[in-house]
Protein backbone atom coordinates (compact mmCIF):
# COMPACT_ATOMS: atom_id res chain seq x y z
CA UNK A 1 0.00 0.00 0.00
CA UNK A 2 1.29 3.46 -0.88
CA UNK A 3 0.27 6.27 1.50
CA UNK A 4 1.19 9.92 1.02
CA UNK A 5 0.62 13.38 2.42
CA UNK A 6 0.59 16.62 0.44
CA UNK A 7 -0.19 20.24 1.22
CA UNK A 8 -1.70 20.93 -2.18
CA UNK A 9 -2.16 24.69 -1.61
CA UNK A 10 -5.61 24.87 -3.27
CA UNK A 11 -7.14 21.67 -4.57
CA UNK A 12 -9.13 23.48 -7.26
CA UNK A 13 -6.15 25.41 -8.62
CA UNK A 14 -4.02 22.27 -8.67
CA UNK A 15 -6.66 19.70 -9.63
CA UNK A 16 -5.01 18.71 -12.92
CA UNK A 17 -1.67 18.24 -11.19
CA UNK A 18 -3.32 16.27 -8.40
CA UNK A 19 -5.06 13.87 -10.78
CA UNK A 20 -1.91 13.42 -12.85
CA UNK A 21 0.20 12.80 -9.74
CA UNK A 22 -2.23 10.21 -8.38
CA UNK A 23 -2.07 8.30 -11.64
CA UNK A 24 1.68 8.61 -11.99
CA UNK A 25 2.54 7.77 -8.39
CA UNK A 26 0.12 4.90 -7.88
CA UNK A 27 -0.85 6.24 -4.47
CA UNK A 28 -3.58 4.32 -2.64
CA UNK A 29 -4.24 6.74 0.22
CA UNK A 30 -3.51 10.46 0.13
CA UNK A 31 -3.84 12.95 2.97
CA UNK A 32 -4.38 16.48 1.64
CA UNK A 33 -4.05 19.83 3.38
CA UNK A 34 -4.79 23.49 2.59
CA UNK A 35 -7.71 22.74 0.28
CA UNK A 36 -8.81 26.39 0.14
CA UNK A 37 -12.33 25.47 -0.94
CA UNK A 38 -15.71 24.80 0.57
CA UNK A 39 -16.68 21.16 1.02
CA UNK A 40 -19.32 21.52 -1.72
CA UNK A 41 -16.64 22.67 -4.18
CA UNK A 42 -14.29 19.76 -3.52
CA UNK A 43 -13.72 17.72 -6.74
CA UNK A 44 -15.39 14.60 -5.40
CA UNK A 45 -16.71 13.39 -8.75
CA UNK A 46 -13.42 13.85 -10.59
CA UNK A 47 -11.70 11.74 -7.93
CA UNK A 48 -14.47 9.15 -7.82
CA UNK A 49 -14.10 8.69 -11.57
CA UNK A 50 -10.52 7.63 -10.88
CA UNK A 51 -11.50 5.23 -8.11
CA UNK A 52 -10.97 7.41 -5.03
CA UNK A 53 -13.40 8.01 -2.19
CA UNK A 54 -12.95 11.21 -0.21
CA UNK A 55 -13.47 12.29 3.39
CA UNK A 56 -13.41 16.09 3.39
CA UNK A 57 -13.50 18.86 5.97
CA UNK A 58 -13.37 22.34 4.49
CA UNK A 59 -15.04 25.73 4.83
CA UNK A 60 -13.47 27.73 2.03
CA UNK A 61 -10.89 29.60 4.09
CA UNK A 62 -7.13 29.12 4.41
CA UNK A 63 -7.37 25.58 5.69
CA UNK A 64 -9.27 22.38 4.82
CA UNK A 65 -8.16 18.74 4.89
CA UNK A 66 -9.09 15.49 3.19
CA UNK A 67 -8.29 11.79 3.00
CA UNK A 68 -8.50 10.15 -0.44
CA UNK A 69 -8.58 6.36 -0.68
CA UNK A 70 -9.00 3.70 -3.33
CA UNK A 71 -8.73 0.87 -0.75
CA UNK A 72 -11.77 1.70 1.35
CA UNK A 73 -12.81 4.58 3.60
CA UNK A 74 -14.46 3.92 6.98
CA UNK A 75 -14.80 5.29 10.51
CA UNK A 76 -14.37 8.91 9.42
CA UNK A 77 -13.77 11.38 12.25
CA UNK A 78 -13.01 15.08 12.06
CA UNK A 79 -12.91 16.38 15.60
CA UNK A 80 -10.19 16.84 18.22
CA UNK A 81 -10.69 16.10 21.89
CA UNK A 82 -11.29 19.53 23.46
CA UNK A 83 -10.25 21.09 20.16
CA UNK A 84 -9.63 24.85 20.48
CA UNK A 85 -11.38 27.52 18.45
CA UNK A 86 -9.77 30.58 16.93
CA UNK A 87 -11.73 33.83 16.86
CA UNK A 88 -14.84 31.86 17.72
CA UNK A 89 -14.50 29.31 14.91
CA UNK A 90 -13.49 25.65 15.04
CA UNK A 91 -11.38 25.31 11.92
CA UNK A 92 -11.39 22.20 9.68
CA UNK A 93 -7.79 21.14 10.23
CA UNK A 94 -7.96 17.38 10.72
CA UNK A 95 -9.82 14.34 9.43
CA UNK A 96 -9.18 10.66 10.14
CA UNK A 97 -10.29 7.49 8.35
CA UNK A 98 -9.50 3.80 8.18
CA UNK A 99 -8.31 2.76 4.72
CA UNK A 100 -7.51 -0.86 3.89
CA UNK A 101 -6.78 -1.72 7.51
CA UNK A 102 -4.62 1.37 8.16
CA UNK A 103 -5.82 4.29 10.26
CA UNK A 104 -4.63 7.67 8.97
CA UNK A 105 -5.17 11.18 10.24
CA UNK A 106 -4.56 14.15 7.96
CA UNK A 107 -3.55 17.31 9.84
CA UNK A 108 -2.94 20.92 8.94
CA UNK A 109 -1.47 22.48 12.06
CA UNK A 110 -2.05 26.24 12.48
CA UNK A 111 0.82 28.40 11.25
CA UNK A 112 1.28 30.44 14.43
CA UNK A 113 2.16 33.61 12.51
CA UNK A 114 4.41 35.32 15.09
CA UNK A 115 5.65 34.53 18.58
CA UNK A 116 3.32 36.33 20.97
CA UNK A 117 0.48 36.46 18.44
CA UNK A 118 -2.83 34.88 19.55
CA UNK A 119 -2.46 32.46 16.63
CA UNK A 120 0.78 31.15 18.14
CA UNK A 121 -0.96 30.34 21.43
CA UNK A 122 -3.77 28.75 19.42
CA UNK A 123 -1.20 26.61 17.58
CA UNK A 124 0.17 25.24 20.85
CA UNK A 125 -3.33 24.53 22.17
CA UNK A 126 -4.21 22.80 18.91
CA UNK A 127 -1.13 20.57 19.10
CA UNK A 128 -1.98 19.66 22.70
CA UNK A 129 -5.51 18.69 21.61
CA UNK A 130 -4.05 16.65 18.76
CA UNK A 131 -1.93 14.71 21.23
CA UNK A 132 -4.94 13.85 23.37
CA UNK A 133 -6.87 12.78 20.28
CA UNK A 134 -4.25 10.51 18.72
CA UNK A 135 -3.04 8.87 21.96
CA UNK A 136 -5.61 6.03 21.85
CA UNK A 137 -5.16 5.64 18.08
CA UNK A 138 -1.39 5.39 18.49
CA UNK A 139 -1.77 2.79 21.25
CA UNK A 140 -4.04 0.56 19.17
CA UNK A 141 -2.64 -2.68 17.81
CA UNK A 142 -3.37 -1.72 14.20
CA UNK A 143 -1.23 0.46 11.91
CA UNK A 144 -1.83 4.16 12.52
CA UNK A 145 -0.16 7.34 11.28
CA UNK A 146 -0.77 11.06 11.61
CA UNK A 147 0.38 12.80 8.45
CA UNK A 148 0.37 16.34 7.19
CA UNK A 149 1.69 19.86 7.34
CA UNK A 150 2.76 20.35 10.96
CA UNK A 151 4.20 23.84 10.44
CA UNK A 152 7.04 22.84 12.77
CA UNK A 153 10.59 21.87 11.82
CA UNK A 154 11.55 19.15 14.34
CA UNK A 155 15.29 19.99 14.41
CA UNK A 156 17.68 22.73 13.31
CA UNK A 157 18.74 20.56 10.36
CA UNK A 158 15.17 20.71 9.07
CA UNK A 159 15.54 24.32 7.89
CA UNK A 160 17.99 25.56 5.32
CA UNK A 161 19.71 28.08 7.62
CA UNK A 162 18.72 28.07 11.27
CA UNK A 163 20.47 31.41 11.89
CA UNK A 164 17.78 33.12 9.80
CA UNK A 165 14.97 31.80 12.01
CA UNK A 166 15.92 33.49 15.25
CA UNK A 167 12.78 34.85 16.88
CA UNK A 168 10.52 33.14 14.33
CA UNK A 169 7.86 30.49 14.58
CA UNK A 170 8.23 26.89 13.32
CA UNK A 171 11.48 26.32 15.25
CA UNK A 172 10.71 27.45 18.81
CA UNK A 173 11.28 25.24 21.81
CA UNK A 174 7.58 25.26 22.67
CA UNK A 175 6.58 24.05 19.21
CA UNK A 176 9.23 21.33 19.17
CA UNK A 177 8.25 20.24 22.68
CA UNK A 178 4.67 19.87 21.43
CA UNK A 179 5.92 17.57 18.66
CA UNK A 180 7.97 15.59 21.16
CA UNK A 181 4.87 15.17 23.34
CA UNK A 182 2.99 13.89 20.32
CA UNK A 183 5.72 11.32 19.63
CA UNK A 184 5.58 10.20 23.27
CA UNK A 185 2.15 8.69 22.55
CA UNK A 186 4.03 5.93 20.70
CA UNK A 187 4.67 7.58 17.33
CA UNK A 188 7.96 7.70 15.42
CA UNK A 189 9.24 9.80 12.53
CA UNK A 190 8.78 7.60 9.46
CA UNK A 191 10.82 9.75 7.05
CA UNK A 192 14.15 10.27 8.86
CA UNK A 193 17.24 12.06 7.63
CA UNK A 194 19.12 11.45 5.44
CA UNK A 195 17.23 10.36 2.35
CA UNK A 196 18.21 10.79 -1.28
CA UNK A 197 19.16 14.40 -0.58
CA UNK A 198 21.29 15.83 2.20
CA UNK A 199 18.33 17.96 3.24
CA UNK A 200 15.02 16.25 2.46
CA UNK A 201 12.92 19.40 2.71
CA UNK A 202 9.21 19.34 1.94
CA UNK A 203 8.43 23.06 1.61
CA UNK A 204 10.13 25.85 -0.34
CA UNK A 205 8.86 29.42 -0.50
CA UNK A 206 7.83 30.67 -3.93
CA UNK A 207 9.86 33.83 -3.38
CA UNK A 208 13.56 34.48 -3.96
CA UNK A 209 14.19 31.22 -5.87
CA UNK A 210 13.58 29.19 -2.73
CA UNK A 211 13.28 25.87 -4.54
CA UNK A 212 16.16 26.20 -7.07
CA UNK A 213 18.43 27.26 -4.20
CA UNK A 214 17.05 24.49 -1.92
CA UNK A 215 16.16 27.02 0.76
CA UNK A 216 13.50 24.84 2.29
CA UNK A 217 12.03 23.38 5.44
CA UNK A 218 10.96 19.89 6.51
CA UNK A 219 7.55 20.56 8.01
CA UNK A 220 5.41 17.90 6.27
CA UNK A 221 5.76 14.84 8.49
CA UNK A 222 4.60 11.25 8.88
CA UNK A 223 4.41 9.98 12.46
CA UNK A 224 3.47 6.31 12.74
CA UNK A 225 2.94 3.85 15.57
CA UNK A 226 4.92 0.60 15.91
CA UNK A 227 2.64 -1.56 13.69
CA UNK A 228 2.79 1.14 11.00
CA UNK A 229 6.58 1.52 11.25
CA UNK A 230 7.07 -2.25 11.09
CA UNK A 231 5.25 -2.35 7.75
CA UNK A 232 7.28 0.47 6.13
CA UNK A 233 9.31 -0.60 3.10
CA UNK A 234 10.31 2.80 1.74
CA UNK A 235 9.74 6.51 2.37
CA UNK A 236 10.69 9.56 0.33
CA UNK A 237 9.92 13.17 -0.60
CA UNK A 238 8.72 13.52 -4.20
CA UNK A 239 10.74 16.63 -5.08
CA UNK A 240 9.85 16.28 -8.77
CA UNK A 241 6.27 17.37 -8.05
CA UNK A 242 7.56 20.68 -6.68
CA UNK A 243 8.99 21.53 -10.10
CA UNK A 244 7.34 23.31 -13.00
CA UNK A 245 4.60 25.85 -13.54
CA UNK A 246 1.67 25.74 -11.16
CA UNK A 247 3.30 23.56 -8.50
CA UNK A 248 2.35 23.71 -4.85
CA UNK A 249 5.01 25.15 -2.56
CA UNK A 250 5.03 21.75 -0.79
CA UNK A 251 6.14 18.39 -2.16
CA UNK A 252 4.32 15.12 -1.44
CA UNK A 253 5.81 12.79 1.18
CA UNK A 254 5.32 9.13 0.25
CA UNK A 255 5.45 5.96 2.36
CA UNK A 256 5.23 2.38 1.05
CA UNK A 257 3.85 -0.32 3.34
CA UNK A 258 3.92 -4.11 3.14
CA UNK A 259 0.88 -5.27 5.06
Marked catalytic residue, from 108, 122, 203, 223: 108
Is 250 assigned a catalytic role? yes
Rounded-to-integer distance, Cα 131 and Cα 123, Å: 12
Peptide bond into 248 cis (omega under 30): no
Is 149 assigned a catalytic role? yes
Is 59 assigned a catalytic role? no
Q: Is 250 annotated as a binding residue?
A: yes
Q: Is 170 annotated as a binding residue?
A: no
Rounded-to-integer distance, Cα 102 and Cα 228, Å: 8
Marked catalytic residue, from 149, 170, 220, 223: 149
Give yes or no for a contact between 1 and 259, defined as CB atoms under 8 angstroms apart: yes
* Kind and range of the H or E run holding 96: strand 94-99
* Kind and range of the H or E run holding 139: helix 118-139
Q: Is 34 annotated as a binding residue?
A: yes
Rounded-to-integer distance, Cα 169 and Cα 176, Å: 10
Axis crossing angle, helix 118-139 with helix 173-183, rounded to the nearest 10: 10
Beta bridge partners of 102: 99
> Torsions phi, psi of 110, nearest 5?
-55, 150
Q: What is the length of the chain? A: 259
Give 14's Cβ-side CA count (13 Å radius).
25
Q: Which residue positions form the known binding site? A: 7, 34, 149, 151, 249-250
Q: Which residue positions form the known binding site for Mg(2+)? A: 7, 34, 149, 151, 249-250
Show which residues are catalytic: 108, 149, 250
Amino acid sequence: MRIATWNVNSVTVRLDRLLAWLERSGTDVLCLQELKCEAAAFPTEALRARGYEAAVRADGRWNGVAVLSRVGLADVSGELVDGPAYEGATEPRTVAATCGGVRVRSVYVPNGREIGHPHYAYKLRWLAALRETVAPEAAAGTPFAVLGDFNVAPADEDVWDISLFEGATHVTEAERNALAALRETGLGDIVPRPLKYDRPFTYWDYRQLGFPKNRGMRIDLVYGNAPFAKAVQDAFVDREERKGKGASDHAPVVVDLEL
